[in-house]
Structure 1
Amino acid sequence: MRRIGLAVALGAALACCGGTPGGAAGPPPVDAPPTDRFDAIVIDAGHGGEDEGARGPAGSREKDVVFDVAQRLARRLRDRGLRVVMTRDRDVFVPLETRTMLANDAHTDLFISIHANAAPSHSPRGIEVFFASLDATDERAREVAERENSAFGAAGTPPSPDDPLVAIIGDMIVADTMREASAFAKLAQERLDDLDDVPSRGVKQAPFVVLLGVQAPAVLVEIGFLSNPTEERTLRREERREAIAAALERAVAAYGERYDATRGATAHGR
């Protein structure tokens, strides 16, 4: 089922502000009752090509680590019968607008962007899951969003929360897409918390541009700190990357069952 994203909501609000002759706004579009079930997911492996993302002390590149996890997750979800679209299927840089276009054209039910974290100090470690908001949960969340957004240059600038137009559409966003994104983010963090020796950094919100443009629940998963030597060694192990993919698969399965149940659809055989 397609949901309204920030970019679409901004466009709708602009159209409404234009009004109709006589100043009366036209009737809002009426969404058709949802008849689909959970069956489509877009997996976004962060960075790629000339954009390496973070680099660990031993030389691990974020773009390689997250692409491996994304491929493993895609295989697992396809084995469940889900339709999976990857924003990149090789080591290339994919522009922001292309990533969001792929997600929206796929009529995805869920969007997962996979990244690896970094910090100036070697000490931070752990996994955290983000969903989009114009305001960051805290300063650290804002810094993470700025680092990931910087790959897109000028295109990676989120709208200002002080913009009155953004305030007009805020309720539209929170009411549906953000609520669903929050629900999946919590499921993902819970499943990832089951991994051995990985501190949970919790669920947070931040203005990730790649999430704000998607017309479906969207989350960004930071699977560990490449800047931490111990976590870098862990992420270099195939079994850890497989375990992360398996945890995310379980989160997707749980969310899919919830999606189908709340929409009255027949659940998948899982």
Structure 2
Amino acid sequence: MFTKRLLTGSCLAACITGLSLLAVACGTPNQLAETTPHTSGTALQASKLAADAKKSLTTGKAHAESLPDIMEPATTPDSPLNAQPPKSASKTNSHINPPDVLIDVGHGGIDGGAVHGDLLEKDINLAVAKQSYQLLTEAGYRVVLNRDKDYALSDDNKWLNNRSRHIRDLAQRMQMANDLKPKLLISLHVNSSFSRSKKGPYVLHQNSAGSLFLATQIQERLNAISGTRHLPILGKTYYLLKRAQSPSVIVEIGFITNADDRSRMTSAEGQQKIAAAIRDAVAAYIAHGDLGPGPGGSQNNGSAPAK
């Protein structure tokens, strides 16, 4: 499924069969962002936030409205989601270092995601992802986007024999993440609600210390932008969070159904601020050091999951 090749100098290109090209950072991996981490988002406080997040039941419902495609369908031992890609499809080049960050760009192609008028979630996700990619690479990080144009990742899944586009999409995203072995996986989405008053970002995390720490760092910074005080939420039922081997989070940038959020997410200035928050959160995580793997695997030195 994946083939990789080295390009000129220190540039890395990771190509996927059926995809145009994954965007990957060029530059030395040792160049870290010159940012000041939030000292308030410590691992101890993150643990407290995890307990307090149980109070945010109404916000959890809002997530369910906008993220049905990431929630794991019921599975059995013979379920298509438990199918494995061919061994030849997941081989990686051992001479290529894993990326620091894999940005999972939600939806795409036939799947528009949340909708408000003629505004589609998939387009907001891609715009913020590209801006985040730019800021992270300028800071010296190696970054991959799993889509850099408007297409459905389910179309690239040739290894899973299933008629459901939804299942093929989920499996493709998960397999990309576990094949590329990034230090961090950040999945970008936009929320939606029947209530126009619901607003602000929410970050969903895995049941792991690394994911919770990253979620807290991102949540605090996005709260500062939107003027909210939301807490990270444990994404117990989300397929990508349950299966990803790397520390992973789902970032709900804001509500497409809220005027203030919508204005922020669609403006160049707002997208720049959101991307800067993500960059600074990544810098804080890297500066903190290894916090362990995601629930789907084990890692060495906070960099790549062990086989």
TM-score range, shorter chain: 0.5 to 0.7
> Are the equivalent residues in 1 in contact too, given 2:205–2:250 (CA < 8 A)?
yes
- What secondary structure is seen at the aligned counterpart in 2 of 1:194? helix
Equivalents in 2 of 1:246, 1:80: separation in Å?
Answer: 11
Equivalents in 2 of 1:230, 1:80: separation in Å?
Answer: 29
Provide the residue aligned with 2:230 in structure 1. 201
> Are the equivalent residues in 1 in contact too, given 2:99–2:144 (CA < 8 A)?
no
Provide the residue aligned with 2:204 in structure 1. 130
Question: What percent of counterpart residues are identical?
Answer: 34
Give the deviation of 1:82 after TM superposition.
Answer: 1.7
- What secondary structure is seen at the aligned counterpart in 2 of 1:108? coil
> Are the equivalent residues in 1 in contact too, given 2:191–2:253 (CA < 8 A)?
yes
Provide the residue aligned with 1:179 in structure 2. 209
Indicate which of 164, 183, 186 corresponds to 1:112.
Answer: 186
**Counterparts in 2 of 1:204 and 1:260: CA distance versus 1, 3 Å:** closer
Matched, 1:233 2:263: yes
Equivalents in 2 of 1:39, 1:261: separation in Å?
Answer: 17
Indicate which of 171, 180, 197 corresponds to 1:97.
Answer: 171
Equivalents in 2 of 1:111, 1:220: separation in Å?
Answer: 9
> Are the equivalent residues in 2 in contact too, given 1:38–1:260 (CA < 8 A)?
no
One-letter amino acid matched to 1:90 = K
Matched, 1:66 2:115: no
Q: Which has the higher helix share?
A: 1
| Relative contact order higher in (CA < 8 Å, ≥ 6 apart) | 1
Give the deviation of 1:228 after TM superposition.
Answer: 1.2
- What secondary structure is seen at the aligned counterpart in 1 of 2:195? coil
> Are the equivalent residues in 1 in contact too, given 2:200–2:223 (CA < 8 A)?
no
> Are the equivalent residues in 2 in contact too, given 1:103–1:214 (CA < 8 A)?
yes
> Are the equivalent residues in 2 in contact too, given 1:39–1:109 (CA < 8 A)?
yes
**Counterparts in 2 of 1:55 and 1:198: CA distance versus 1, 3 Å:** farther
> Are the equivalent residues in 2 in contact too, given 1:60–1:232 (CA < 8 A)?
no
Equivalents in 2 of 1:230, 1:44: separation in Å?
Answer: 25
Equivalents in 2 of 1:201, 1:117: separation in Å?
Answer: 14
**Counterparts in 2 of 1:131 and 1:261: CA distance versus 1, 3 Å:** closer
Unaligned runs of 5+ in 1: 1-6, 8-36, 133-173, 266-270
Matched, 1:79 2:109: no
Matched, 1:50 2:110: yes
Unaligned runs of 5+ in 2: 1-71, 73-96, 154-168, 293-299, 303-307
Give the TM-score taking structure 1 as reference length: 0.63
